[in-house]
Chain A
Amino acid sequence: MSRAATAALRDPLRGLSTWWTMLKICLEERLVYRGDFALGTLMRFLPIVTQVFLWTAVFSATSRSDIAGYSRNDIVAYYLLTMLTRAFSSMPGLAGGIARSVRDGSVKKFLIQPVDYVSFLLAARVAHKLVYYAVAVVPFGLVFFLCRSYFPPVPDATTIAAFLLSLVLSFLLGFFMEATLGMLGFWFMEVSSIVFGYMLVQYLLSGHMFPIDLLRTVPVGSGGVSLADVVHWLPFEYTAYFPSAVWLGKVRGPELLGSLAIEAAWVVAMAIACRIAWRRGTRRYAAFGG
């Protein structure tokens, strides 16, 4: 558990107010650069447009009515939903920012000031996301409204609850994975390549590129295990594929519960990894004088 969180338990009011101040500062900082924001949000929809056209072209040339259980409408809905889930789980600049702060020494600030770095980053990220949603709700709402005919009927309350839970978990999972990655900056001078490699695997195995169900036809070994089965146990698909599949009703019942458990377990594991990396990293930093 983070130091700020521990402090919050000991002295709830003061902990909260520290946290709230950090959040406010970050919000203000983000709002100054509104031009970037508006542009960024708009741009985010462009790749999906290409994907939709690509799949439309694929469906136009094939005699099948569905691909791996997805109709063309399902595919469109799927991509739109991964946009939404990625809005929760993607952490642009987080790992790189941490690594940079180590490299240029600005991380020292957090060794001196009575502020816990991981908590600070988390607060900053929550702020970043909140501001992003505040701006993005308009384009998102518009796109989802225009594309409503591609979606299946709104699912039942349990599915919606599971979907929301999976989204929150995907935010935490994305945060702790990237933060841990950034902490590698204590050991390696340039982590940009590692981050890039991570993004690559993430892009392929999170379901950002295509529904993971497409990998059911790709065998791993000869025991009847598919690549999709392997991916199921990795953290990646929980940052894009899983919440989308939940909304589309592709994961139900006990499988849904099991998947949520795996996702939660990964969140805890990565949070611990992040904490360990920070502790070891700062110790190393202090020892070698940055």
Chain B
Amino acid sequence: MSEAATAKVFKPAPPVDRITVKVDGQVVVVPKLSPDWQGKLVPTTMIQACEAAGVTIPHYCYHPQLPVAGNCRMCLVEFGTPALGPDRKPVTNPDGSAVINKSPRPAIACATPVSPGMEIYANTPGVKAMRQGVLEFLLINHPLDCPICDQAGECKLQEYSVEYGQSATRFVEAKVHKPKAVDLGPRIMLDDERCILCTRCIRFTRDFVGDDALGIVNRGSYNTIATYPGHKFDNNYTLNTVDLCPVGALTSKDFRFEMRVWFLRETKSVCPSCGTGCNLLIGSRENRIYRYTPRDNPAVNGPWMCDAGRLDYKWIARDDRLKDARGSRPEVRTWRDVLAELAGRLRPATAGSVAIVASARLTNEELYLIRKLAQRLGAATDTIPHLGDGDRLLVNADKNPNTAGARLLGISAKPAGANLNDFAAGIRDGLIKTLIVFREDVTRFGLGADLLGRLDTLVASNVLPNETTKLAHFVLPGCAPAEKRGSFTNIHGRVQRITKAVEPPGDARPEWEFLGELLELITDRRAPATIEGLFNQMAGEVPAFHGLRWAALGDSGVTMPLEPGK
């Protein structure tokens, strides 16, 4: 990196005004201004100062990535400010400490700015009594149907009830009943009885998504969340409101009544559905994936992700998954035999007689092994672009998760897909005798069945069957991203790790494993047997990944310059 670029990146930050406050007697220094949900600098609030001091204030409506509403009143705290004498100077005690005037009223921590010398009392008996009172009011009309509620186990109402709740209700009147199982939109089901009216969902869809779809109708105890009559709550981000909802009012139709959340094992991974690469958690139990939920990464997706990416997991459990490795003859069935036969065919291949259609759905490590294979065989490579609809927020038009990785590793042509016509011509002229296809159906991209029939050897590696795998002489069953480890490079050059959550079906194996073995059979040089070793080797060899280590990627990834050398 040049000196100019270094200076640009490490520009000294402007001096920050800082305020010293006390939280439960603990001195904490916070900046006078903090970024709000849009990144605009606004006065730091008491809830942020408490968070900095390690004291978590219970809250429902406050969310750091949303505008402040201040309506749930759960974050009420007591506080005091330094007393000022007639000379407008702080009055001091005999021991030199400032005299604090305790505020006669509590204040909501989420919307009250801190001032110099302020003391916040977050755990006094009075504060606890207020939380108990607020919670009791919130529970007055709550149906308490936790046994049938999908939120149970990750419900703020349950959590705070343990801390501040009463063991029995004092409310003897009939509860107000509201509509249950209201169909809000194609992916969202609303239970109005459970709603505590924190308006997080309203603010999210109005201010973040820009789709003013939700609102509160009726008055008093009959307040309900609703859409405009006849309209549906349907945008690319509706399912985020299910995560946002602190109670079980908004539920996902897809996950509804599927599994209790405490059974789900959460695996940190990255969404493979588009070039954005949102960080997510894979919720799985007994080798079945139940849901994807977003994982907070301010550098990529914040705490959100799109609905399409979230629901793009069902194909992993399909029954017609490719499960068996297949060679050219029926008796060649085991991985060892298939790879040995394939290596025997590839080893004598002359330069230019092999073409590889890789996929930008493969991980960096797999593409790196394909690059090594292509270099050894003198093969031309390319990937197929998959474009769809994008939006201004998180959905990218590029539906491949690793387009940048394929480009940086030199697998894609410029532009991606440009070599496909050459491949078709090469096959037609008999120059290309072997075609290796990964995760694509080339019959839909100009290499029809008639052309594929002219090949001596067609190798197809995929997860699901398609026309290409049907025609292939060799079938190498691969893994979905949730079934293997590796890394993706998103469109902005951020290299992020994916983690295995479930086992692949049958004999299917991660592509990097069998590619490494195939490469060893052809070159007699062993590829690293672990994903860590493979990544570190790639970082050493490929200039675009220089300076990266697997361990340094961490859970949130590292951004690399997309144009190496600049």
Asked if chains A and B come from one complex, the reply is no
Interface residues of chain B, those whose CB is within 8 Å of chain A, are none
Interface residues of chain A, those whose CB is within 8 Å of chain B, are none
